[in-house]
Structure 1
Amino acid sequence: MDEENRLIVNSESTNLLKELTSSIETCQRFYFSVAFMNFSGVQLLLEALKEAEEGGVSGKVLTSTYLNFTDPKALEKIREFQNIDLKVFVTDQTEGFHTKAYLFEYDDYYKVIIGSSNITQSALKSNVEWNVEIISKQDANFVQQVIQEFERLWERSQGATDEFLFDYKRYFQNLRGIAEQNAIFEKPAYITPNSMQRRAMDNLTRLRSVGEKKALVIAATGTGKTYMSAFDVRHIRPKRLLFVVHREEILQKAKETFEKLMYGFDLSFGMMTGTRKDHNADYIFANISTLSNHYQQFSPHEFDYIIYDEAHHATAESYKKVIDYFQPTFQLGMTATPERSDNHSIFGLFDQNVALEVRLHDALDDGIVVPFHYFGITDIGDIDLSDLSVDDVHEIAKRLQINERVEFIIDKMNFYGHDGMKRKALGFCANLDHARYMAEQFNQRGLASAFLSGDDSSEVRQKWIKKLEDEEHPLQFIFTVDIFNEGVDIPSVNTVLMLRPTDSPIVFIQQLGRGLRKYPQKQFLTVLDFIGNHTKAFLIAIALNGQRYYDKESLKVAIASGFAHLPGATHIQMDKISAERILEQIDQEKFMSSKYLKEQYFEFKKIRQGAVPFMLMDYYRYDGAPDPVKFIMKDQTYVNFVAKAEKDDQLKLLLADDLFESTLKWLSKMLPIKRPYDLIIVHYLLKEKTVSFQQAKREILKWVKAVPDESVFHALRFLNQEFFDTREKNSIPKLYVWSGETLSRTDVLEELLSHPVYYDYFVDVIEYGLFRYERNFGAESYGVPYFKLYEQYNMAEVALISNYEKSHSSFRGSGLLKNGNEYFLFVDLHKDAGIAESVNYNDRFISPTRFQWETPNQTSQSSPIGQNIIKNEEKGIRLHLFVRKYKEIEKGFREPFIYIGKGRTIFYSGEKPIEIQLELEHQVPQQLYVELTEKI
Structure 2
Amino acid sequence: MPNEPRLIVNTQTESLLQELKTSLETCRSFYFSVAFLNFSGLQLLLEALKEAETAGVEGKILTSTYLNFTDPEALRKLREFPLIESKVFVTDKTGFHTKAYIFEYDDCYKVIIGSSNITQHALKSNVEWNVELISKQHAAFMDRVISEFNDLWERSRRVDDEFLHDYTELVRNLKETVTHQSLVYEKSTYVTPNSMQTRAMENLDRLRGIGEKKALVVAATGTGKTYMSAFDVRRERPKRLLFVVHREEILQKAKETFEYFLHNFHVSFGLLTGTQKDLDADYLFANIRTLHNYYESFDPGTFDYIIYDEAHHVTAPTYQEVFDYFDAGFTLGMTATPERGDQQSIFEQFDQNVALEVRLHDALEDDIIVPFHYFGITDIDEVDLRDVSIDDIDEMTRRLKVNERVDFIIENMKFYGWDGEKRKGLGFCASREHATYMAEEFRKRGIPSLAMDGENTGVERREAIRRLESDESEIEFLFTVDIFNEGVDIPSVNTVLMLRPTNSPIVFIQQLGRGLRKYEGKEFLTVLDFIGNHAKTFLIAIALNGQRYYDKESLKVAISTGFAHLPGATHIEMDEISKERILTQIDRESFMSMTYLREQYQEFKRVRAGKTPHWLMDYYTYENAPDPVSFIRKKNTYLEFVAATEKDDHLKELSADETFIKTLKWLSSMLPLKRSYDFALLRALAHKRLITTAEAHSEIEKWVEEVPEVSVEHALCYVNQEFFDSGMRERTPKLVSYDGERAERTLLFDKLLNNPEYRAYILDVLEYGLLRYEREFGSRYYGTPHFKLYEQYQMADAALLSNYRKSHSAFRGSGLLQNGNDYFLFIDLHKEADIKESINYNDKLISRAQFQWETPNSTRQDSERGKNILHNRERGIRLHLFVRKYKQIENGFTEPYIYIGEGDALSWRGEQPVEVQIALHHQLPEQLFTELTEKV
The TM-score, its normalising length taken from structure 2, stands at 0.99
Give the equivalent residue in structure 1 for 2:710.
Answer: 710
Secondary structure of 2:377's counterpart equals strand
Question: For the Cα contact (< 8 Å) 1:72–1:168, is it kept in 2?
Answer: yes
Amino-acid identity (%)? 66
Distance 1:498 1:730 in 2: 53
Secondary structure of 1:734's counterpart equals coil
Per-residue CA deviation, residues 15-59 of structure 1 (Å, 9 max, x unaligned), is 110011111111111111111111100000000000011111011
Secondary structure of 1:278's counterpart equals coil
Question: For the Cα contact (< 8 Å) 2:423–2:494, is it kept in 1?
Answer: yes
Give the equivalent residue in structure 2 for 1:165.
Answer: 164
Amino acid at match of 2:374: Y
Question: For the Cα contact (< 8 Å) 1:428–1:497, is it kept in 2?
Answer: yes
Give the equivalent residue in structure 2 for 1:485.
Answer: 485
Q: 1:582 to 1:343 in 2, by over 3 A?
A: farther
Q: 2:599 matched to 1:574?
A: no
Question: For the Cα contact (< 8 Å) 1:372–1:571, is it kept in 2?
Answer: yes
Give the equivalent residue in structure 2 for 1:753.
Answer: 753
Q: 2:314 matched to 1:314?
A: yes
Give the equivalent residue in structure 2 for 1:191.
Answer: 191
Within 5 Å, which residues of 2 pair with 1:393-472? 393-472=393-472
Q: What's the CA shift for 1:225?
A: 0.2
Distance 1:835 1:59 in 2: 55
Question: For the Cα contact (< 8 Å) 2:315–2:341, is it kept in 1?
Answer: no
Within 5 Å, which residues of 2 pair with 1:502-541? 502-541=502-541
Give the equivalent residue in structure 2 for 1:104.
Answer: 103
Distance 1:32 1:52 in 2: 14
Q: 2:547 matched to 1:547?
A: yes
Amino acid at match of 2:347: F
Distance 1:533 1:3 in 2: 44
Distance 2:869 2:513 in 1: 51
Question: For the Cα contact (< 8 Å) 1:678–1:716, is it kept in 2?
Answer: yes
Give the equivalent residue in structure 2 for 1:916.
Answer: 916
Give the equivalent residue in structure 2 for 1:584.
Answer: 584
Q: What's the CA shift for 1:572?
A: 0.4
Amino acid at match of 1:775: R
Distance 2:271 2:537 in 1: 50
Question: How many residue pairs get matched?
Answer: 934
Question: For the Cα contact (< 8 Å) 1:105–1:111, is it kept in 2?
Answer: yes
Secondary structure of 2:516's counterpart equals coil
Within 5 Å, which residues of 2 pair with 1:65-104? 65-92=65-92, 94-104=93-103
Secondary structure of 1:347's counterpart equals helix
Q: What's the CA shift for 1:834?
A: 6.2
Distance 1:434 1:178 in 2: 43
Within 5 Å, which residues of 2 pair with 1:776-787? 776-787=776-787
Question: For the Cα contact (< 8 Å) 1:4–1:136, is it kept in 2?
Answer: no
Distance 2:847 2:127 in 1: 25
Give the equivalent residue in structure 2 for 1:117.
Answer: 116
Q: 2:509 matched to 1:495?
A: no
Give the equivalent residue in structure 2 for 1:888.
Answer: 888
Q: 2:133 matched to 1:142?
A: no
Q: Which runs of 4+ in 1 moved over 3 A?
A: 340-344, 833-837
Secondary structure of 1:81's counterpart equals coil
Give the equivalent residue in structure 1 for 2:901.
Answer: 901
Per-residue CA deviation, residues 296-338 of structure 1 (Å, 9 max, x unaligned), is 2221111100000011111222211111111110000100011
Q: 1:22 to 1:422 in 2, by over 3 A?
A: same
Q: What's the CA shift for 1:389?
A: 1.5
Within 5 Å, which residues of 2 pair with 1:689-838? 689-832=689-832
Distance 1:175 1:520 in 2: 15
Question: For the Cα contact (< 8 Å) 1:215–1:353, is it kept in 2?
Answer: yes
Question: For the Cα contact (< 8 Å) 1:313–1:340, is it kept in 2?
Answer: no
Amino acid at match of 2:454: G
Calculate the aligned-residue CA RMSD, in Å: 1.3
Within 5 Å, which residues of 2 pair with 1:245-260? 245-260=245-260
Please list every run of 5 or more consecutive structure 2 residues that lacks an aligned counterpart in the other structure: none
Give the equivalent residue in structure 1 for 2:243.
Answer: 243
Amino acid at match of 1:368: I
Per-residue CA deviation, residues 631-664 of structure 1 (Å, 9 max, x unaligned), is 0000000000000001111111111111101110
Secondary structure of 1:179's counterpart equals helix
Secondary structure of 2:679's counterpart equals helix
Q: What's the CA shift for 1:342?
A: 4.2
The TM-score, its normalising length taken from structure 1, stands at 0.99
Amino acid at match of 2:514: R
Distance 2:374 2:382 in 1: 24
Per-residue CA deviation, residues 570-611 of structure 1 (Å, 9 max, x unaligned), is 000000000000000000000000000001001111111111
Within 5 Å, which residues of 2 pair with 1:347-426? 347-426=347-426
Distance 2:4 2:150 in 1: 24
Secondary structure of 2:805's counterpart equals coil
Amino acid at match of 1:165: L
Amino acid at match of 2:882: F
Within 5 Å, which residues of 2 pair with 1:659-674? 659-674=659-674
Question: For the Cα contact (< 8 Å) 1:420–1:522, is it kept in 2?
Answer: yes
Give the equivalent residue in structure 2 for 1:231.
Answer: 231
Secondary structure of 2:48's counterpart equals helix
Secondary structure of 2:686's counterpart equals coil
Amino acid at match of 1:415: F
Per-residue CA deviation, residues 646-702 of structure 1 (Å, 9 max, x unaligned), is 111111111111110111000000000011111011110001111222111111111
Distance 1:2 1:321 in 2: 73
Amino acid at match of 2:706: A
Amino acid at match of 1:96: G
Secondary structure of 1:104's counterpart equals strand
Q: What's the CA shift for 1:340?
A: 4.8
Q: 2:927 matched to 1:931?
A: no
Per-residue CA deviation, residues 374-410 of structure 1 (Å, 9 max, x unaligned), is 0000000111111112111111111010100000000
Distance 1:505 1:215 in 2: 29
Amino acid at match of 1:197: Q
Please list every run of 5 or more consecutive structure 1 residues that lacks an aligned counterpart in the other structure: none
Secondary structure of 1:85's counterpart equals strand
Q: What's the CA shift for 1:110?
A: 1.0
Within 5 Å, which residues of 2 pair with 1:577-656? 577-656=577-656
Distance 1:456 1:488 in 2: 14
Secondary structure of 2:687's counterpart equals coil
Secondary structure of 1:4's counterpart equals coil
Distance 1:11 1:490 in 2: 32
Amino acid at match of 1:215: A
Q: What's the CA shift for 1:841?
A: 3.6
Distance 1:909 1:77 in 2: 61
Question: For the Cα contact (< 8 Å) 2:388–2:534, is it kept in 1?
Answer: yes
Within 5 Å, which residues of 2 pair with 1:321-360? 321-340=321-340, 342=342, 344-360=344-360
Give the equivalent residue in structure 1 for 2:269.
Answer: 269
Within 5 Å, which residues of 2 pair with 1:298-309? 298-309=298-309
Secondary structure of 2:32's counterpart equals strand
Question: For the Cα contact (< 8 Å) 1:3–1:137, is it kept in 2?
Answer: no
Distance 1:854 1:274 in 2: 75
Q: What's the CA shift for 1:167?
A: 0.7
Question: For the Cα contact (< 8 Å) 2:841–2:854, is it kept in 1?
Answer: no
Distance 1:642 1:689 in 2: 31
Amino acid at match of 2:648: D
Q: What's the CA shift for 1:76?
A: 0.6
Distance 1:834 1:482 in 2: 49
Question: For the Cα contact (< 8 Å) 2:315–2:343, is it kept in 1?
Answer: no
Secondary structure of 2:668's counterpart equals helix
Question: For the Cα contact (< 8 Å) 2:316–2:341, is it kept in 1?
Answer: no
Within 5 Å, which residues of 2 pair with 1:31-46? 31-46=31-46
